């Protein structure tokens, strides 16, 4: 690990003023420190933001909740308001990492974590995400865990978060502060597809800091599920995951949300496909149709081609489970 300086910020203005391109904010550090140890990221300064006032969950005027960016994943998942009103989010968080990591990892940091692509971590191999213009080793390499949707000729890496898949399905909003003031970013606009610039993971400006994540009033607490398919039952990243949430009138679907993890550079949501379910009966035939639509443009790269069929089956299963599931608060 290269030498670096450390400072602790007690106010947002201090944190923002300290930020440069070679300085990074650190909360739990569960991903950043690994990247620094592996020489993937090089920071001259770590700005500790754990003492900023974003450790609470607050009710919003619109009837939703604002999650503090510095709350840990564990605090969030086990919070009574999350368990009661947004159980999909709680289930997704608890499917990720390990209890030890969830006790350290922050909500803001979860959004900022980087891909677990083997080649991104291996500095002896070309990687456009790590070193733009060097090439993508995964496309013709061992790509079993890699993306099948939204890829480009520059990168086929996947986003690793479970929490973010649920946040995409719930239509969350990210609150950020920067030197030019505060703003909000729709969650589905926060992470980027690789296109020609895979080194850019998200739409944050270089000086901006995540302060909170807002959940809308609708939490789909009665009909939801989160399915995570992985090589082992714990402490493994998703090959494919599905956050499914339905609103039902009898057996008729009045609203539907489907977000996928493990298949793209960002949590994948196809709102056009979701709309196909509105007004339809909650049947396996209709679920098969929407699964086919979501995966219509999927592309496998050899080792990961199996994910296309796996994702279809996972979507059908998730929607079926969401239909049957009734959450008891």
CATH of domain 224-324: 3.30.390.50
Residue 294 Cα distances to 141, 259, 270, 313, angstroms: 26, 10, 6, 12
Q: Give the predicted TM-score (pTM) of the model.
A: 0.97
Mean pLDDT of 183-210: 97
Q: How sure is the predictor about 326, in pLDDT bands with cuts at 50, 70 and 90? A: low
* DSSP single-letter state for residue 322: H
pLDDT at 75 over 50: yes
Rounded CA gap, 22 and 14, in Å? 16
Question: How far is Cα 317 from Cα 181, in angstroms, rounded to an integer?
Answer: 44
In the chain the first and final C-alpha atoms are separated, in Å, by: 47
Residue 285 exposed, middle or buried by CB count within 10 Å (0-12, 13-18, 19+):
exposed
Work out the pLDDT band at 160, boundaries 50, 70, 90. Answer: very high
CA angle 241, 227, 262 (to 5 degrees): 10
Joined together, the tokens standing for residue 188 give 């589905």
User: Mean pLDDT over residues 126-143, rounded?
Assistant: 98
Compute the distance between CA of residue 164 and CA of residue 148 in angstroms, rounded to an integer. 18
CA distance 16 to 214: 21
Per-residue pLDDT at 328: 45
Map out the domains of the chain as residue ranges.
5-50, 224-324
Alpha-carbon dihedral sign for residues 147, 151, 156, 162: negative
Is the fold of 5-50 the same as that of 224-324?
no
Average pLDDT of the residues in 134-146 = 98
- Reported as a single tens digit per residue, the pLDDT across 255-313 is 999 999 999 999 999 999 999 999 999 999 999 999 999 999 999 999 999 999 999 99
> If you count DSSP H runs as helices and E runs as strands, how many of each does the chain have, helices first?
13, 12
Confirm or reject CATH 3.30.43 for domain 5-50, answering yes or no: yes
Residue 329 has pLDDT above 80, yes or no: no
In this prediction, residue 2 carries a pLDDT of 86
């Amino acid at each position: 690990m290269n030498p670096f300086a450390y400072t602790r910020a007690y106010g947002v203005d201090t944190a923002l003023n300290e930020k440069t391109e070679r300085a990074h904010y650190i909360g739990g550090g569960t991903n950043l420190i690994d990247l620094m140890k592996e020489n993937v990221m090089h920071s001259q300064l770590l700005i500790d933001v754990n003492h900023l006032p974003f450790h609470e969950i607050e009710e919003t005027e619109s009837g939703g909740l604002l999650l503090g960016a510095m709350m840990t994943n564990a605090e969030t998942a086990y919070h009574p308001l999350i368990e009661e009103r947004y159980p999909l989010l709680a289930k997704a968080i608890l499917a990720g990492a390990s209890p030890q990591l969830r006790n350290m990892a922050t909500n803001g940091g979860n959004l900022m974590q980087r891909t677990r692509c083997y080649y991104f971590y291996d500095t002896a191999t070309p990687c456009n995400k790590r070193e733009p213009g060097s090439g993508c080793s995964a496309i013709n390499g061992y790509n079993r865990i890699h993306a099948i949707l939204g890829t480009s000729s520059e990168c086929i890496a996947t986003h690793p978060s479970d929490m973010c898949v649920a946040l995409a399905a719930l239509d969350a909003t990210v609150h950020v502060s920067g030197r030019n003031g505060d703003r909000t970013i729709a969650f589905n606009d926060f992470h980027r597809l690789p296109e020609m610039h895979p080194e850019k993971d998200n739409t944050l400006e270089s000086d901006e800091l995540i302060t909170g994540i807002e959940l809308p009033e609708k939490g789909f607490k009665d009909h939801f599920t989160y399915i995570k398919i992985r090589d082992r039952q714990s402490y493994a990243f998703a090959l494919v995951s599905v956050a499914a949430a339905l609103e039902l009138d009898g057996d008729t679907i009045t609203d539907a949300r489907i977000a996928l993890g493990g298949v793209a550079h960002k949590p994948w949501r196809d709102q056009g496909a979701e709309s196909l379910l509105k007004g339809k009966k909650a049947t396996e035939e209709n679920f098969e149709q929407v699964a086919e639509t979501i995966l219509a443009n999927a592309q496998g790269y050899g080792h990961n081609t199996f994910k296309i069929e796996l994702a279809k089956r996972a979507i059908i299963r998730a929607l079926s489970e969401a239909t049957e599931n009734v959450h008891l608060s």
